[in-house]
Structure 1
Amino acid sequence: ILGGGSLGFGEEFMKGNILVEGDLQELIKMGYGQSRINFQLSLKEKLKIFYNYISSLGTVINSKRNISYHYDIGNDFYSLWLDSTLTYSCAYFKKEDDSLERAQLNKYEHVSKKLQLKQGETLVDIGCGWGGMMFYAAENYGVKCEGYTLSQKQYDHIIEEIKKRNLADFVKVYLKDYREARGKFDKFVSIGMFEHVGKKFHPVFFDVVKKILKPEGIGLLQTIGSPKDKPSDPWITKYIFPGGFIPALPAICNIMNQKDLVFFEIEDLRQHYALTLDKWIEGFEENIDKIRKALIKPLGGEKQTEEFVRMWRLYLNGSSVSFKAGNNHLYQITFSNGLNNQLHER
C-alpha cells in the first residue's frame, strides 16, 4: 500500500482497507513532521513514502472539461455541509467562534470593501459558484452583476435564486467558459476558480481580465497558491479534481505585471482556510447519515456511497492539514487595470 504512493494510499483508504482509530488529521500531519504523537522512527520513515500525497491535498485543481465532475455531484450534497449561502471557498473569520455562515458573509464584505463597490457599478464574477458574491453585492451595494459558471447545477440554482430574490435587474448568470465573457465592467472578481485554469492558460485568463475590466477598474483574485510551482497529486487528480495545476504566487505576479495589472494588495488568508475546512468537516460528519442517504441512489449503492464518503473525508482533512502546515496558502490579490491613483481605503 505504502509503496503505491499517494494514489495507492488514497485508493486503499477509500476501499476501507486502511482504518484510522482516532484523529485522521494527526496521521496526515506526520507527513509534515507536525504530529503531537510520538512514533517510532521506522513508522515515520514508512509514512514519508506518501508525503507527496499529503503535500497536495486541499488544492482545488480542475480543467474546463472536468468542472461537472466535482461541482455537479448535486446541490443536495453540498447543502448538507456548507452554509446556507452555498459558499465553497475560504471564509473570513473575525473571531474564531464565528459561525461558518457569518464568516462567509464576512468574506463577501471583506471583498466588497477591497473592490470599493459603489451603487450602480457593474461587477463581473468569473467562476461565480452558487452566486453568493453576486447576491451579496447586489443586495448590499446595489451593484449590477454578471457571473460565469460551467456547472449546470450552479447555474440552475442561481436562476432560481434570482427569481426568489427579485434580482432580475441586478444579477445575470451565463453557463459559459470564462473566455466567452463579454462587456466592460467597473469591477472584477474571481473567487476559487483560478485553480481550475491550468498553468498553460494563465496568460489567457489575464488577457480576459484585461479585456473585460475597464481602464483603472479594480479587481480581486482569490486563489489557493504556493510559494513555488509543484506537481499535481495523482490521487487528487484522479478522484477529486481531474487535471490542472496549483498556481505559484511569483508566477501569477509575473504574468499580471506583464499585462499591466497593477497590485494594490496581496493578503494571505491561510489560517482562515484551515478553519473553514474544519467547519466543513464538522458539518460533513454531523450530517454523514443524511449525506449517505442522499447519495446512495445517484451513486448506485452502499459500496459506492461509502467509498465516496471516505474519499471526501480524506480530502477535507488532508486539505485542512495542508493549510495548517503552510504547504498551501490562500491569496487575495487586489489590483487595477493599469494605474489607478485613487486612494485604496477599506
Structure 2
Amino acid sequence: MDPNVSFEVRFWDDDRIKVGDGEPEFVLSFKTKNALARTFGDGFLGFGESYMDKEIEIEGDFRVLFNLGHRIDFGNQSLTLMEKINFALLFLRNQNTFSGSRRNVAHHYNLGNDFYQLFLDETMAYTCAYFHTPEDTLEQAQLNKFEHICRKLMLKPGESLVDLGCGWGGLLIYAAQHYGITGVGATLSQPQAEFAREKIRRLGLQDQIEVRHCDYREVSGKFDKLVSVGMLEHVGKKFIPTLMKNASLLLKPGAPGLIHSIGNDTPFQDDPWTMKYMFPGSHVPALEQIIHDLAENRLTILDVENLRYHYALTIEHWLERYEQNFDEVCKRFDERFARQWRLYWWVSTTSFVHGGNRLFQVLFTNGLNNELPLTRAHLYRDA
C-alpha cells in the first residue's frame, strides 16, 4: 500500500476505517452489508452492480481508489462457483455468430446517436484519439488520429479503402476529403450507418464512399488499403482469426492494412461486469494473439505502436463531457444506467494509466511488399 495515500472506508452501521494520515483522498462507503459481501465474494462484478444500485458510493478522487484496485489486481479476484456458471452461460449466449453479433452490437451502439453526441466530439469518433500535446482539443486529437492512420496506410488519390467497423464514418470521410480515396465502410449498427450516410450525402461524397449496414464477414471485393479501428476487441476471441482471414481476402497482394485495437501485453481474463453490462461478446486480446493470427494468414507485420496513454487522455475528455450531461442521461434512461456508464469511464481511464489496458496499432501487408518506404519519415512530415 502506498504510504502517502490517505482514504476512509465507511460502513452501513457508521463504523469507519481510516488509512493514512491527513485528509482522505477518497471515501468509499458500503451502504449495505450485501454490498460488502458481493464485493468480496464476486469481485468487480459485485462491486459494479452494488455501485449501480447505489449500495456503494465514492466521494473524492475516484482515480486514487481505482489505481489502488489496479495495483492489487482486484479485477482478477476469483468468482464464486455460481458466478462462474453464470459467466459461462453469458459467454455462450453472447457468441459472435451472425445473429449474435447483431444483438451484441445493438446492446451498446444502438442507444441512439443523440446519446453518443452527449460526450463525443464533432467527428463522432468513439475510439482512442492521438494527441500531439496534452493541450489538444478532443476534436483536434481525433483528426490527428485520422491523419496518423492515413499516413501509416500511405493513402493516395484514387485508391480504394475498406473500413471494417467504420462506426459513424469519421475516418472514411476524412480519407475521402483529404486523400481523395474511394471506399466502403461496414457497421452492424443501423443508427451509425444512417448517420454516416446522411453526413456523406451532406458533404457531397456519395460518389466516393459508401457505408453499408452489414457484418464485416459480408464485405467482398479487392481493395488497395484496409483499416479496422476499434472493432477487433468486439469480434470475440473465437472470431479474431476470421477477421484476419477476411483482411487477407479483401486486400490486394502486398497491400497495407491497419488494426487499431485495445489489447493487453499478456493474456488477461475478461471482466464479467464489462461483458455483462457494456460489451457482451467482447474479448480484449493479448498482443501475441493479434500477431499470431495475422501471421497465420500471411499478413506480414510492419509496425506496432502502443498508444496506451493517448486513450487515457481521450477518456478523460469523454468523462468530463459525460459528467456535464449526467442528469440528461438519467432523464433519457435511468440513474442506474447513468451510474453504469460513469463507472465504466472511471475504470477505463485508470486502467490505461495504471492497469493492464493497452491500445495497439498494428500495421501489416498482405504478403511481402518490397516497395515500401525504408523509414517512417512519412509519418511525421510537418506533424
Regarding TM over 0.5, the answer is: yes
- Superposed CA deviations along residues 256-303 of structure 1, whole A, max 9, x for unmatched, are 11211111110000000011011111111122233334x1xxx3xxxx
Q: Which residue of 1 is the match for residue 59 of structure 2?
A: 21
Which residue number in structure 1 is paired with residue 286 of structure 2?
A: 248
**Corresponding residue number in structure 2 for 1:342:** 371
Cα distance, 1:26 vs. partner? 1.5
Judged with a 3 Å threshold, the aligned counterparts in structure 2 of structure 1 residues 318 and 229 are, in CA distance, closer, same or farther, namely same
Structure 1 gap segments, 5+ residues each? 34-47, 54-60, 300-304
* Equivalent position to 1:314, from 343, 355, 363: 343
Residues 62 and 196 in structure 1, CA contact (< 8 A), matched pair in contact too? no
What letter matches 1:200 in structure 2? K
Residues 136 and 163 of structure 1: CA distance in aligned 2, closer, same or farther (over 3 Å): same
What is the distance in 2 between the residues matched to 1:104 and 1:282? 16
Instruction: Return the alpha-carbon distance in structure 1 between the equivalents of residues 151 and 260 of structure 2.
Output: 14
- The equivalent position to 1:160 in structure 2, one of 184, 198, 212, is 198
1:137 maps to 175
What are the ranges of 5 or more consecutive residues in structure 2 without an aligned counterpart?
Answer: 1-37, 78-93
- Inter-partner Cα distance in structure 1 for 2:345 and 2:110: 18
After superposition, give the CA deviation of every residue in 1:64-113 in whole Å (9 maximum; x if it has no partner): 13001000011111101110111100000001010000000000000000
User: Which residues in structure 2 correspond to 1:91-240 (within 5 Å)?
Assistant: 91-240=129-278
Name the CA shift for 1:223/1:49 in 2 (closer, same or farther; >3 Å): closer
Kindly state the Cα deviation for residue 52 of structure 1 after the two structures are TM-superposed.
2.7
Asked whether the equivalents of residues 75 and 271 of structure 2 are also in contact (C-alpha less than 8 Å), the reply is: no
Which residue is equivalent to 2:49?
Answer: 11
Q: Aligned partners of 2:58, 2:108: CA distance in 1, in Å?
A: 26
The secondary structure found in structure 2 opposite 1:210 is: helix
Which secondary structure does the structure 1 equivalent of 2:59 belong to? coil
Cα-to-partner distance string for 1:36-73 (whole Å, 9 max, x where unaligned) = xxxxxxxxxxxx594337xxxxxxx9841300100001
CA distance in 1, matches of 2:327, 2:355: 32
More displaced stretch, 252-261 vs 122-131:
252-261
Residue 174 of structure 2 aligns to a residue whose secondary structure is helix
Match of 2:356 in 1: 327
CA distance in 1, matches of 2:167, 2:125: 7
Percent identical among aligned pairs is: 48
CA shift digits 1:294-336 (9 cap, x unpaired) = x1xxx3xxxxx10011000100110011110141100000111
Distance 1:287 1:213 in 2: 42
CA-atom RMSD in angstroms = 1.5
Matched, 1:30 2:68: yes
Structure 1 stretches of 4+ moved >4 Å:
none
Which amino acid in 1 is paired with 2:144?
Answer: N
Checking the alignment, whether the CA contact within 8 Å between 1:225 and 1:330 is kept in structure 2 is yes
The TM-score, its normalising length taken from structure 2, stands at 0.80
Contact 1:270 1:326 in 2 (8 A): no
SS of residue paired to 2:211 = strand
Change (3 A) 1:151 1:104: same
Q: Secondary structure at the match of 2:148?
A: helix
Output the CA distance in 1 between the equivalents of 2:330 and 2:238.
38
C-alpha deviation, 1:343, in angstroms: 2.9
The separation in 1 between residues aligned to 2:260 and 2:251, in whole angstroms, is 16
Larger radius of gyration: 2
CA distance in 2, matches of 1:62, 1:186: 31
1:96-150 Cα distance to aligned partner (Å, 9 max, x none): 0100000000000000000000000000000000000000000111111100100
Amino acid at match of 1:108: F
Structure 1 residues 236 and 129 mapped into 2: Cα distance closer, same or farther (>3 Å)? Answer: same
